[in-house]
Structures are given as C-alpha cells and as structure tokens.
Amino acid sequence: MTADPTSRTPSTGTAEPTGTGDDAFVATYEDVTRVRIEDPGRIGRLLARRARRTVADTDGSMLIVAADHPARGALGVGARTEAMASRTDMLDRMRTALAVPGVDGVLGTADVLEDLLLMGALEDKVVFASMNRGGLQGGSWEIEDRFTSYDAESIARAGFAGGKMLTRIDLGDDRTSKTLKWSAEAIDELAARELIAMVEPFWSSRQGGRVVNDLSPEAVIRSIHVAQGLGTTSAYTWLKLPAVADMARVMDATTLPTLILGGDPGATDPEAVYATWREALARPNVRGLVVGRSLLYPADDDVRGAVSTAASMIR
C-alpha cells in the first residue's frame, strides 16, 4: 500500500454513513479534515452514540490492532525508516485490519482514534487509549515517559475500555522513578473508574545513545514483577508483554491477564514471528495479541493476510 491523494476512499473498514447530516460518518480523508474545521463537536457526538464492545463482550481473548508509535516520533518499520509518515496510508491499513473478521479492537492516540471514529471504523470495537507518549524516540529524556495523551477521565468520558502505558525501567537513569510514579498513579485513576490499565513494561538501558529493551526471559520476568506491583490495586491491571524465549517460565511470573505485543516488524521470516506468538498464546493467562506494525506493514504488504493469520491463532 502506498499513499495517494487524501480524498481516496478505501473500500474496507468504513461503516456506511448513518445518522443525520450533522452526525454522519464521512467517506474520505478530505471530509475528515472538513469536519475538523467546520464541526469538531461531531467527534464528541459520535463517541456518545458509538456502538461499543467491552472486554466482557469478548470470549476473554482479543486481537487488538495498535497504532500509537507515531506519537512518539517512531515512524520506522524495519528498514523502512519513514513507513508510517503518511497518515492516510496508515489509516488505510488500519481500516483494512479492523474490517478483518476476528479483530476485536484498536489501540491508539486521540488523533488516530478520532480519524477512525469519523469514518465509522470504531463501531462495535473494543478501544484502548494510549496514555504516555512523551518519551520521544531518541530523546535525551526518553525514559522519562510523560503522560501526554489520554488520561483516565478522558478515557472514561469517551467510553473506551482502558488505557495503555509504556513503562520502561532503566536502573542507570534516575528519571525511571518518575515514570514508575506516573504509571502507578494512572493505574489507580483507571481502577477508580473500573477501567483496564494495560501496562507495557521493559527492562531497558541506553546503548550507543539509544534506549534498548532487554528481551531475555530473566529481564522480562523482572519487568513483570515491577509492573504488577504498581498502584494501590491490581484488580484492573493487565500486562502487555513481548513474546520471548521460555514463555512458560516468563508467564509463571504473573497471574495477571496478558496480551502479547507484536515483536520485530522488520523480521524477514514472519513464520518465525508467528511461531513465537503461538507459543505465548498457549499459556493460560495470555489472552490475546496487541499487534501494530507487524500486521499493518508486513514484508509482503498483504495487511489482510497478516491480520487474518493472527486472528486464526486466537480463534
């Protein structure tokens, strides 16, 4: 898929325009911009009447498509350093993915979710909101991952299922303590509203000026124990973890419901990636996948095929 003019109208992933003229879904990206100029209040009205699914409406296992990397300045997918630079191309891919049977929902920042909302692509979907995007990729402060997107109040007001927070732990960076504190506060604020806190922990360090995540089983296990201890309650806490070696031992570190993230989107052997997902999904407390770039930008550019393969693993 490649970007072309913003007036294009993909044939999948958009509900038929419904409601009155003032509350209808739109058909083109040009119309999305027009609504944002002429009638921004339509976003709130569409959120209020959106056909919603909750986690309770699923069978307990979910496939969630994620698109929150761009808000951290992370536009690359494997060797394609600017793969996500085109918003309309990314939305095309998102809408294609969300239209595949077996896809339960989406994770994103407000800009992405509201574009999808205006085009009807959030109807009957479980929606998770991304919360902390302030740790910009490559920034000297990257570990100090400030909460610059949704907060608990706005997530509740939008009628979404919960919020996701990236929580990287670097023992060599004093700013880690701030991120841990903010994550704990967000967990409590979500729990007070009976909303899921999806915590994505990594044991990290800065190497050659870059923040690198340690994906050894031992490091993932340590990150799990720190993450699940955050907040005054874990009643509404879920984990979002990488699929790594020895997943049986890794998942024995927690009783929390867990979703598996996508892995290396630049992998040349997608079957090897799929094999790691299958191994992880065999664990009883693993409840599904939250996958973004690996499905939206597969090596063969067959978004529908990649998403269908992931959906078949869960159901």
The answer to whether residue 137 sits within a structural domain is yes
Given a cut of 70, is residue 157 above it in pLDDT? yes
The answer to whether residue 260 sits within a structural domain is yes
Given a cut of 70, is residue 303 above it in pLDDT? yes
pLDDT of residue 315: 77
Q: What is the pLDDT of residues 199-239, one digit of tens each?
A: 999 999 999 989 999 999 999 999 999 999 999 999 999 99
Range of the domain at 46: 21-314
Average pLDDT over residues 145-151: 97
Q: Which residues share a beta bridge with 213?
A: 204
Q: pLDDT band for position 14 (50/70/90)? A: low
pTM over 0.75: yes
The answer to whether residue 221 sits within a structural domain is yes
Q: pLDDT band for position 40 (50/70/90)? A: very high
What CATH number does the domain containing 49 carry?
3.20.20.70
The answer to whether residue 15 sits within a structural domain is no
Say which residue, 186 or 83, is predicted with more confidence.
186
Contact 309, 280 (CB under 8 A): no
Round the average pLDDT of the chain to a whole number and report it.
91
The answer to whether residue 28 sits within a structural domain is yes
**DSSP label of 147:** -
The answer to whether residue 199 sits within a structural domain is yes
pLDDT of residue 296: 95
The answer to whether residue 6 sits within a structural domain is no
The answer to whether residue 13 sits within a structural domain is no
Contact 214, 202 (CB under 8 A): yes
Contact 128, 106 (CB under 8 A): yes
Q: Which of 84-93, 269-278, 306-315 has the lowest mean pLDDT?
A: 269-278
Q: pLDDT band for position 264 (50/70/90)? A: low
Tokens of 85: 């630079």
Our count of domains for the chain comes to 1
